[in-house]
């Protein structure tokens, strides 16, 4: 059969992470690849109880179709949580529940992007946001980014010289893939630039609650007086990703458009999942649960950074994130992380080469390490092994 696919399909390729994850399903593989939470922290016993209660108390509603916007008590909870933590002023009407924040990224493409439009992003940026936006035929411009976020003069220069910029996409907290966090000043400057050039900002924040040290900062949205910022959130990293419940929050006029495209995508989020999360929040203390996650991830971050410092050869640098799930490694320029991966997979250690986080290519001497998913002893064993592989590359000047 000569399959006549849409043009957009030709620019999409299988996610490298997904391909690598196939290998990492083997139990002997020590994986620093996916962005998976620690499964031992999922509150399985509590969820059993919650599931039973939801079915007993509202079984038929929980199994019925529901509104596209989502379960009102859950949207109210999300608005209050964001307002309390992030300095926003949302009401339940400003929130649309989505199937993970990933769906909010896809819907954003549907709402804002025509073919040939431009998305500005950090350099590097989240791989699956690139795939989500790319399907709508956009181009990407990477804004030079340092440890504090996008560099304002560079952002301004690109905005002033680039026609058809529709979206500025940022991950200000414990970024995927670098683990970096934007400074307060940069958040404010971003909104000023977006207002000046009348461009939407999509602020993607799935990791903000997982801060190991330092103060929680106000969201980019907190600086927005005109509705040009949309904020994405998720229960994937604070609760369980399997529920696939996230959200998008923003100006009501914009959220109404998202409701229209979500109707076309899947009508609504899974009804019982929404109700179970709301019931969990009613019965249990999410803060206590998140405190447990933070403590485990903080220890794993510390161990990861310490072991890399001990085992990685000179000339290799890495970030020390204040929260989240990832650290970012930069190798000497002549070493390609994809070649390193081939060798380390032979030794049953996996990570994600960094090149795929740059929508316009390059930067092949980088890779991402996830530290949330492996128990401590496997982190040490895996990073020692990876350190050995890196030393071989440097010693033999392998290309
Ligand atoms: N945005 C970023 C930056 C992410 O890292 C992820 C998950 N890896 C997502 C969005 C999607 O998360 P979910 O759909 O599970 O909410």
C-alpha 60/C-alpha 270 separation (Å) is: 14
pLDDT at 13: 74
> Is 17 a residue whose pLDDT tops 90?
no
Whether ligand 1 lies within 6 angstroms of the CB of 206 is answered as yes
Pocket test for ligand 1, best of 16, 96, 125, 126 (most atoms within 8 A of CB): 126
Expressed in angstroms and rounded, the spacing between residue 324 Cα and the centre of ligand 1 is: 12
Residues 388 and 353 in one domain: yes
> In the listed set 263, 283, 303, which residue is the last one of a domain according to the structure?
283
Which residue's CA is the closest to the ligand 1 atom numbered 11? Answer: 102
C-alpha 360/C-alpha 90 separation (Å) is: 35
Whether ligand 1 lies within 6 angstroms of the CB of 208 is answered as no
Tokens of 285: 């203390």
Q: For the segment 218-263, what is each residue's pLDDT rounded down to a tens digit?
A: 999 999 999 999 999 999 999 999 999 999 999 999 999 999 999 9
Whether 2 is in a domain gets the answer no
Average pLDDT over residues 180-184: 98
Q: Which of 221, 275, 279 has its CA nearest to residue 94?
A: 221
**Which numbered atom of ligand 1 lies nearest the CA of 126?**
3
> In the listed set 260, 283, 306, which residue is the last one of a domain according to the structure?
283
Residues 327 and 193 in one domain: no
Expressed in angstroms and rounded, the spacing between residue 72 Cα and the centre of ligand 1 is: 23
> Is 8 a residue whose pLDDT tops 90?
no
Average pLDDT over residues 283-296: 98
Average pLDDT over residues 320-342: 96
Q: For the segment 117-163, what is each residue's pLDDT rounded down to a tens digit?
A: 999 999 999 999 999 999 999 999 999 999 999 999 999 999 999 99
Residues 194 and 57 in one domain: yes
Per-residue pLDDT band for 12 (boundaries 50, 70, 90) equals confident
| 299 CA to centre of own chain | 21
Expressed in angstroms and rounded, the spacing between residue 201 Cα and the centre of ligand 1 is: 17
pTM of the model: 0.96
> Is 320 a residue whose pLDDT tops 90?
yes
Whether ligand 1 lies within 6 angstroms of the CB of 271 is answered as no
- For helices 100-112 and 127-134, give the axis angle rounded to 10 degrees: 40
Average pLDDT over residues 278-290: 98
Instruction: Write the DSSP symbol of residue 211.
Output: B
Residues 235 and 113 in one domain: yes
**Which numbered atom of ligand 1 lies nearest the CA of 99?**
14
pLDDT at 7: 84
Q: In percent, how much of the chain has pLDDT > 70?
A: 98
Expressed in angstroms and rounded, the spacing between residue 112 Cα and the centre of ligand 1 is: 20
Count: domains in the chain: 2
Q: For the segment 50-88, what is each residue's pLDDT rounded down to a tens digit?
A: 999 999 999 999 999 999 999 999 999 999 999 999 999
**Tell me, what CATH number does 14's domain have?**
3.90.1150.10
C-alpha 89/C-alpha 91 separation (Å) is: 7
Whether ligand 1 lies within 6 angstroms of the CB of 204 is answered as yes
């Amino acid at each position: 059969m000569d399959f006549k696919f849409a043009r957009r399909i030709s620019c999409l390729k299988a996610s490298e992470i997904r391909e690598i994850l196939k290998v990492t399903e083997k139990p002997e593989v020590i994986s620093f690849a996916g962005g998976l939470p620690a499964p031992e922290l999922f509150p399985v016993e509590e969820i059993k109880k919650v599931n039973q209660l939801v079915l007993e108390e509202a079984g038929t509603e929980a199994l019925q179709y529901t509104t596209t916007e989502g379960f009102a008590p859950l949207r109210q909870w999300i608005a209050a949580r964001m307002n309390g933590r992030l300095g926003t002023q949302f009401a339940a009407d400003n929130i649309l529940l989505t199937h993970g924040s990933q769906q909010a990224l896809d819907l954003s493409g549907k709402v804002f992007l025509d073919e040939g439009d431009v998305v500005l992003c950090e350099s590097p940026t989240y791989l699956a946001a690139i795939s989500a936006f790319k399907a709508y035929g956009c181009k990407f411009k990477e804004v030079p980014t340092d440890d504090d976020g996008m560099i304002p003069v560079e952002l301004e220069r690109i905005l002033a010289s680039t026609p058809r910029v529709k979206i500025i996409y940022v991950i200000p907290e414990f970024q995927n893939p670098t683990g970096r966090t934007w400074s307060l000043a940069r958040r404010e400057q971003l909104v000023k630039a977006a207002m000046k050039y009348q461009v939407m900002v999509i602020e993607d924040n799935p990791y903000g609650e997982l801060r190991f040290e330092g103060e929680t900062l106000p969201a980019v949205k907190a600086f927005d007086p005109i509705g040009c910022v949309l904020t994405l959130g998720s229960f994937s990293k604070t609760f369980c990703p399997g529920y696939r419940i996230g959200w998008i929050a923003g100006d009501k006029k914009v959220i109404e458009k998202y409701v229209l495209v979500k109707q076309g995508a899947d009508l609504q989020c899974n009804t019982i999942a929404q109700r179970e999360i709301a019931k969990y929040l009613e019965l249990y203390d999410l803060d206590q649960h998140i405190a447990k996650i933070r403590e485990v991830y903080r220890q794993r971050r510390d161990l990861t950074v310490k072991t890399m410092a001990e085992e990685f050869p000179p000339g290799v640098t890495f970030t020390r994130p204040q929260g989240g799930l990832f650290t970012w490694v930069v190798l000497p320029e002549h070493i390609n992380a994809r070649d390193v991966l081939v060798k380390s997979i032979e030794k049953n250690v996996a990570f994600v080469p960094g090149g795929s986080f740059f929508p316009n290519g390059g930067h092949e001497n980088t890779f991402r390490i996830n530290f949330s998913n492996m128990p401590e002893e496997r982190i040490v064993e895996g990073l020692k092994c990876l350190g050995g592989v890196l030393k071989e590359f440097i010693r033999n000047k392998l290309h």
